[in-house]
Structure 1
Amino acid sequence: MPTLVPGSWGELHEALFGDPWPERAGRYHSTVVHRGAACAAWGLRTSVQRLGRVERETDLLRNFRRYSRVPFKQQENDWEWITLAQHHGLPTRVLDWTYSPLVALHFATVDVARHGQDGAVWSADFAEVHRRLPAAVRSQLEGSGGTAFTVDLLGRVAPTLERFDALDGEPFMLFFEPPSLDERIVNQYASFSVLSSAHQRTDEWLARAQPPLLRKVVVPAALKPLVRERLDQANVTERVLFPGLDGLSRWLTRYYSSPPRR
């Protein structure tokens, strides 16, 4: 797996923004998504894997639906439910990404208590991931004219996780754009990944591909305070990414508890 260790803000910025963007429909659109981590040693495990109860995934989602009062137009579409559950903190097989490298850097540097540790931004090319989809699934995406799935399109591919897992003998991965449930999803420029096996680790699947579809850019501990200052100046903060009084409180708490940079 390619790993970069930049030594300056300029090198870090170039590592995240320097790749050529493919032209599509007369415009340049990056097909790379990013995920920030406060600790570079952390892998890409889903929340249900971190919980250590992957076998209870169905129970978690079933009871989330049971006790929720959110009417969906497609009640049998697991993708709307798992998106809502992920968004509100239920352990799921879904992993959060963002199209914005700056948003990923925010999550790599927002925890001031971990500024003594290297962070990381993981990047994956979702277009290359989708070229490895089973033919029947890939044809659905190509027929839609888009580059990423939506929950409606996934509902046509396989309305339930059980049917999704049975589509192919080998685990496969795809990215989908969550619906705009609230301003947080919009402001974080969110993308979600999902594998056709709740047990399969995302980093292992991406790194095993040939060539590897995952890159890791280390955010050295020595750079974190500087990067955090640049993000604050660019207004990439909790106040924006978590709209409302909770985000405002988190931003002010972090800002006024951060030690001065030497």
Structure 2
Amino acid sequence: MIKEIHIDTLEELLPLLTEQEYRPDLDRNRSPYVYRGMSDSSFKMYTSLSRNCKGLQEHLEPAILENFAKYAINDEPSIGHSVWRQMILGQHYGLPTRLLDWTQSALVGLNFAMTEENLEEMDQHDCMVWRINMSEMVDHLPEPYKYAVNRKHSTIFTVDMLKELTGNSLKQYDTDMGSSSMVIIEPPSLNQRIINQHSFFAVVPSGITDIEKFLSDNTEDTVKYIIDKKLRWRVRDMLDQLNMSERIVYPGLEGLSKWIARHYYVK
């Protein structure tokens, strides 16, 4: 089930930014959620691999990863023996992969929802932030995967855990997941961008061709926050005041240039 929540005021935005669960075992509050911001509420969730390769993604994916590893290994030797590391590094640099970006930070998710390449479109359409519950995703995993992640007292997988469970095989992962489960992975801190974005990835198996249908059919705690287009500039400016901008999510000159361009944009 996917619950839609429409946000028309700043006050209605507050629950998105503050939702947590009390953990009696820790006597602390923790968030079981990850978020994905999208600049247009009409957009569907697709991986870059499915957009790039259409129906041939299962056939072309091995060649994409093999060629990336072959030419990129000089820059990052650790990717040589792990398809998961190849995916994560490639995703960062625009390689088509089966990974879908998520973040543990609601602010980062909101930042991406409030970001437009064409600033003239900022108030032309609503945007949205997706939220999924990581504990709920674990509930649908095959038993060996559940055991592996529960043994770590976690809901998140690492590349080493996936490599051990799958034998570094994409086909094995697809067989294990079928069409009713997928893993959320926390990437290694390969660079500052991954760190600043609090990055997580959903590793979408080939059996899941419609991600939103999968969430609708298999989850009870998925939320789609739809934010009214009239709020976008106000929220965008508020995020700047909270030090959440392109300068944070894209550290370096790229983010600085994006931030300056938007800061001096004339409406």
Same fold (TM over 0.5): yes
> How do 1:11-160 residues align onto structure 2 when only pairs under 5 Å count?
11-14=12-15, 16-23=16-23, 25-51=26-52, 52=54, 53-55=56-58, 56-68=60-72, 69=74, 70-72=76-78, 75-111=80-116, 112-115=119-122, 116-158=124-166, 159-160=168-169
Distance change >3 Å, CA 22–CA 207, structure 1 → 2:
farther
- Is 1:197 paired with 2:175? no
Cα deviation for residue 171 of structure 1 reads 4.3
Q: CA separation in 2, counterparts of 1:6 and 1:104?
A: 15
The one of 235, 238, 249 aligned to 1:241:
249
Q: CA separation in 1, counterparts of 2:198 and 2:101?
A: 10
Kept in 2: contact 1:126–1:175 (CA 8 A):
yes
Cα deviation for residue 17 of structure 1 reads 3.1
Amino acid aligned to 1:189: H
Q: CA separation in 2, counterparts of 1:209 and 1:10?
A: 31
Kept in 1: contact 2:84–2:163 (CA 8 A):
yes
Amino acid aligned to 2:105: S
- The DSSP-based 3-state class of the residue aligned with 1:75 is helix
Instruction: Provide the aligned C-alpha RMSD in A.
Output: 1.7
Q: CA separation in 2, counterparts of 1:91 and 1:210?
A: 27
Q: CA separation in 1, counterparts of 2:107 and 2:180?
A: 31
Kept in 2: contact 1:31–1:126 (CA 8 A):
yes
Q: CA separation in 1, counterparts of 2:183 and 2:164?
A: 15
Q: CA separation in 1, counterparts of 2:255 and 2:171?
A: 36
Distance change >3 Å, CA 224–CA 165, structure 1 → 2:
same
Q: CA separation in 1, counterparts of 2:215 and 2:4?
A: 14
Give the % identical residues.
33
Ranges in structure 1 where 5+ consecutive residues have no aligned partner: none
Partner of 1:6: 7
Amino acid aligned to 2:67: N
Cα deviation for residue 199 of structure 1 reads 5.2
Q: CA separation in 2, counterparts of 1:203 and 1:246?
A: 32
| Bigger mean CA deviation after superposition, 89-98 or 198-207 | 198-207
Kept in 2: contact 1:38–1:107 (CA 8 A):
yes
Distance change >3 Å, CA 163–CA 228, structure 1 → 2:
same
- The DSSP-based 3-state class of the residue aligned with 1:257 is coil
Distance change >3 Å, CA 43–CA 168, structure 1 → 2:
closer
Kept in 2: contact 1:34–1:104 (CA 8 A):
yes
Amino acid aligned to 1:41: S
Q: CA separation in 1, counterparts of 2:192 and 2:45?
A: 25
Q: CA separation in 2, counterparts of 1:49 and 1:85?
A: 15
Q: CA separation in 2, counterparts of 1:79 and 1:198?
A: 18
- The DSSP-based 3-state class of the residue aligned with 2:144 is helix
Q: CA separation in 2, counterparts of 1:233 and 1:18?
A: 18
Cα deviation for residue 145 of structure 1 reads 2.4
Q: How many residues align?
A: 256
Q: CA separation in 2, counterparts of 1:142 and 1:118?
A: 38
Distance change >3 Å, CA 245–CA 209, structure 1 → 2:
same
TM-score normalized by the length of structure 1: 0.92
- The DSSP-based 3-state class of the residue aligned with 1:96 is strand
Q: CA separation in 2, counterparts of 1:60 and 1:100?
A: 30
TM-score normalized by the length of structure 2: 0.90
Q: CA separation in 1, counterparts of 2:37 and 2:178?
A: 31
Q: Which structure has more helix as a fraction of its residues?
A: 2
Kept in 2: contact 1:173–1:193 (CA 8 A):
yes
Distance change >3 Å, CA 90–CA 26, structure 1 → 2:
same
Amino acid aligned to 1:247: G
